[in-house]
């Protein structure tokens, strides 16, 4: 399903987008909470360490245990990363660690609580009147811990997110596959294929839809079959009496003396002949609509073309007006119903003969790629008229007699065969004329 309005595309887009947001939001929130917890824990540890040191610092300020403080750090010295100082309200550093007289964080305010700059987190507490203890933690440790924690949170997301999206895509495609099958089966049904659909592969949600379509196809098939049978039977029943009437009129014309009566009889004969041709076209139309076209075995189309041309050449009005060109293509094998191909070819050739100039032969060419072209000489058909000639009872601006069914029948048959019909005017390689090109794939 490549359509912009595809259900598959919409589901994959929406569910994939929602999954992406969840997978991004979850580790982001987790990383934010982890960062806050690290900061809170570090602040608690910083404050606890400052409170732990203050009794010793007070003794030092009071003149007691000076040597002990200066010479003996706590037992966790190797893990001690803090920097501290004791400063009075005048900014004089009274005690500093690691070195006396050093002032590592001069900007920290002299007020109880936490403060930070780009490098340190400082905890300040007043331990005597006007004397403040400041303990500073370098922020590099916190940042490293937070970065590692965020990496451990986001790394599984980066690994699992593509896998999750792939699973979504596979599940959605497989779940919607029956819909695509139903769409293809319904799309393949037309006037030439009204066979019922197989309901065995559809899930419970789609089976009622397929069953309803099958019932509709049954009703449509029955209606079309009744219509075709009526048309075929009617045309068949009319063929014999019309042929008899034509024979009677021809005999009457032969017996009548020259005059108005004989002229009227000839007019009636021509009308009956036109009616006979129309009945023949209706029979062919019924055959075309019945679905004839493909066959299980291949036939030689060149042989069929020769037979049709030889049959048409026997008619007095078409004698000497047909030229066959099969150079380089002695045979052309295709799996086509021989009767369907005969109807197709006869309608196209008769159309070219009826509407072409009688002084210029109509050419029928067969090529090895499965192309058969029928071209005549005559006036150019305008493009707007050309596009509508395959419609039922459609005729161009021509004085020639015709039913308007020939090209329509040919177009129906070529569709059943699985080929294509192209109309061109002027004919290819000429300045005038009309050409019908049929292509029948292997």
Right CATH for 293-441 from 3.30.565.10, 3.40.50.300, 3.20.20.70, 3.90.1150.10: 3.30.565.10
Sign of the alpha-carbon torsion through 100, 102, 104, 109: positive
Least confident of 188-202, 214-228, 278-292, 333-347: 278-292
The pLDDT assigned to 33 comes to 92
The pLDDT assigned to 231 comes to 64
Region label for 91, one of left (φ > 0), alpha (ψ between -120 and 50) or beta (otherwise): left
Domains 5-142 and 293-441 share a fold: no
pLDDT (mean) for 395-404: 60
Distance, in Å, from the CA atom of 288 to the CA atom of 298, rounded to the nearest integer, reads 19
Q: Are 187 and 61 contacting, i.e. CB atoms less than 8 angstroms apart?
A: no
Compute the mean pLDDT over every residue in the chain, rounded to the nearest whole number.
80
The pLDDT assigned to 296 comes to 65
Distance, in Å, from the CA atom of 85 to the CA atom of 137, rounded to the nearest integer, reads 12
Higher pLDDT, 116 or 403: 116
The pLDDT assigned to 79 comes to 47
Domain ranges of the chain: 5-142, 188-290, 293-441
**Burial class for 354, CB neighbours closer than 10 Å (0-12, 13-18, 19+):** middle
For strands 362-366 and 322-325, give the pairing.
parallel
pLDDT (mean) for 235-259: 79
The pLDDT assigned to 414 comes to 84
Percent of the chain residues past pLDDT 70, beyond the cut: 84
Of 120-129, 158-167, 415-424, the range with the highest mean pLDDT is 120-129
**Burial class for 371, CB neighbours closer than 10 Å (0-12, 13-18, 19+):** middle
Peptide bond into 98 cis (omega under 30): yes
The pLDDT assigned to 402 comes to 59
* pLDDT higher than threshold 60 for residue 99: no
Q: How far is CA 351 from CA 235, 313, 365, 409, in A?
A: 21, 15, 16, 11
Q: Which fold has domain 5-142?
A: Beta-Lactamase (3.30.450)
pLDDT (mean) for 120-129: 90
The pLDDT assigned to 75 comes to 39
Tokens of 365: 């060419």
Q: How far is CA 187 from CA 302, 381, 419, in A?
A: 34, 34, 18
Q: Are 370 and 305 contacting, i.e. CB atoms less than 8 angstroms apart?
A: no
pLDDT (mean) for 292-316: 82
The pLDDT assigned to 64 comes to 54
* pLDDT higher than threshold 70 for residue 266: yes
The distance in angstroms from the start CA to the end CA of the chain is: 28
Q: How confident is the model at residue 78 (pLDDT cuts 50, 70, 90)?
A: very low
* pLDDT higher than threshold 80 for residue 47: yes
Q: Which fold has domain 188-290?
A: Helix Hairpins (1.10.287)
Of 373, 377, 364, 367, nearest to 309 by C-alpha is: 364
- Tell me the β-bridge partners of 84: 97, 135
The pLDDT assigned to 123 comes to 92
Least confident of 12-16, 73-77, 252-256: 73-77
pLDDT (mean) for 81-94: 83
């Amino acid at each position: 399903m490549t359509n912009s309005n595809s259900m598959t595309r919409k589901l994959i887009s929406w569910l994939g987008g929602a999954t992406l947001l969840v997978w991004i939001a979850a580790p982001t929130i987790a990383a934010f909470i982890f960062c806050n917890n690290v900061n809170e824990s570090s602040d608690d540890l910083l404050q606890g360490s400052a409170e732990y040191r203050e009794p010793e610092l007070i003794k030092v300020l009071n003149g007691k245990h000076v040597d002990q403080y200066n010479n003996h750090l706590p037992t966790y010295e190797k893990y001690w990363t803090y920097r501290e100082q004791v400063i009075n309200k005048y900014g004089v550093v009274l005690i500093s660690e690691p070195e006396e007289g050093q002032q590592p964080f001069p900007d920290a305010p002299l007020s109880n609580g936490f403060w930070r700059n780009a490098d340190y987190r400082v905890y300040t507490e007043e331990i005597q009147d006007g004397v403040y203890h400041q303990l500073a933690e370098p922020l590099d440790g916190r940042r490293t811990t937070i970065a590692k924690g965020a990496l451990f949170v986001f790394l599984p997301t980066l690994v699992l997110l593509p896998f999750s999206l792939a699973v979504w895509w596979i599940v959605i495609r497989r779940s919607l596959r029956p819909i695509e099958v139903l769409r293809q089966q319904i799309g393949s049904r037309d006037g030439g294929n009204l066979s019922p659909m197989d309901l065995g592969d559809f899930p419970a949600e789609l089976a009622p839809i397929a069953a309803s379509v099958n019932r509709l196809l049954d009703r449509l098939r029955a209606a079309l079959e009744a219509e075709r049978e009526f048309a075929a039977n009617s045309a068949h029943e009319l063929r014999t009496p019309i042929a008899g009437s034509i024979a009677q009129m021809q005999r009457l014309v032969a017996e009548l003396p020259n005059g108005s009566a004989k002229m009227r009889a000839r007019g009636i004969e021509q009308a009956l002949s036109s009616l006979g041709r129309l009945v023949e076209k209706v029979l062919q139309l019924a055959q075309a609509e019945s679905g004839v076209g493909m066959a299980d075995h291949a036939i030689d189309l060149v042989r069929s073309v020769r037979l049709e041309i030889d049959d048409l050449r026997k008619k007095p009005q078409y004698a000497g007006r047909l030229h066959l060109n099969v150079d380089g293509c002695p045979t052309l094998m295709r799996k086509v119903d021989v009767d369907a191909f005969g109807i197709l070819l006869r309608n196209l050739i008769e159309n070219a003969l009826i509407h072409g100039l009688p002084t210029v032969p109509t050419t029928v060419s067969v090529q090895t790629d499965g192309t058969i072209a029928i071209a005549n000489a005559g006036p150019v058909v305008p493009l707007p008229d050309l596009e509508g000639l395959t419609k039922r009872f459609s005729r161009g601006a021509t004085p020639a007699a015709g039913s308007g069914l020939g090209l329509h029948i040919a177009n129906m048959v070529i569709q059943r065969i699985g080929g294509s019909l192209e109309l061109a005017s002027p004919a290819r390689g000429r300045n005038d004329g009309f050409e019908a090109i049929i292509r029948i794939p292997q």
